[in-house]
Amino acid sequence: MKIYILTENTAGGHFQAEHGLSYIIEIDDQKILFDTGHSDVFLKNALRMGIDIEQEIDTIVLSHGHWDHGNGLKYLENKRLITHPAAFIRRFRKKDLSTIGLAFTKEEVKNKFDLVESREPFQITDHLFFLGEIPRMNNFEAQTTSFSDDFQNDDFVPDDSALAAIVKDELIVITGCSHSGICNIVEQAKNVTGILKADTVIGGFHLKEQDEQTNKTIEYFKEEGIRKVYPSHCTELPALAAFYNEFKNRQVKTGMIINF
């Protein structure tokens, strides 16, 4: 398996960057596009990496319905799109009521894509799984939210999901933003795949500070024996530093190819 980093907050080499996330997962002789960022940066970086998304990608997975993960869909069409049914609700930041949701409606998406909505786990290839709605099991993740929906109710981003891959009998967890909690996501990946120990976790962890949640997450990763950790995107500097101190992880940048 390979993961191509198309969009990421940090630029690498001659590749562009933006606030957002987009990966290609190459597995089982297929290439799956995971999120799109919010512009056409993912397309430009893919071409620089020798991948023509229009020609080579048939399936897209949208981790959740936030602008920085899905607005790049405007540059694509006529592909299968897998996501949670709540990905298309209108959503806002509480502090200023600015929009944080997608720039298009579910009906507009249905007109462009073969839309597959699932709250349940969904097997994409022999060794790659969409995790569906993530149970919120622990008491230190997904406890508060800075978002609200169209009715000014708290929006805990119930659509936030992730991918799990099985490579050489090892579990690789690939996340978009982890609003549902990265530890909750790893537990769901274990339950869905039947692999009882995760080897690698990569993606946005949605951790901002070196605080109790970050420290408990690191403690969980160590207890689980997770060997390789690649926090990216919405993981901010204090949390990144905390992970580096424990795992000596590489910084995720656009243009990287991670081999498994």
For residue 212, CA distances in Å to 9, 216, 223 come to 24, 6, 16
Exposure of 153 by Cβ count < 10 A (0-12 exposed, 13-18 middle, 19+ buried)? Answer: exposed
User: How many Cα atoms within 13 Å fall on the side-chain side of residue 184?
Assistant: 23
What's the pLDDT band for 150 if we cut at 50, 70, 90?
Answer: confident
pLDDT at 84 over 90: yes
Q: Which residue has the higher pLDDT, 168 or 150?
A: 168
Quick check: 222 and 197 in contact, CB under 8 A? no
Q: What total number of domains does the chain contain? A: 1
Query: Residue 211: which residues within 8 A CB-CB, separation 6 or more?
Result: none
Please say whether the beta carbons of 62 and 35 come within 8 A: yes
Q: Is the pLDDT of residue 19 over 90?
A: yes
Tokens of 133: 């709605």
Residue 161 belongs to a domain with what CATH number? 3.60.15.10
pLDDT tens per residue across span 28-83: 999 999 999 999 999 999 999 999 999 999 999 999 999 999 999 999 999 999 99
Whether the pLDDT of residue 151 is over 90: the answer is no
Supply the range of the domain harboring residue 23. Answer: 2-259
Per residue in 104-141, pLDDT (tens digit) is 999 999 999 999 999 999 999 999 999 999 999 999 99
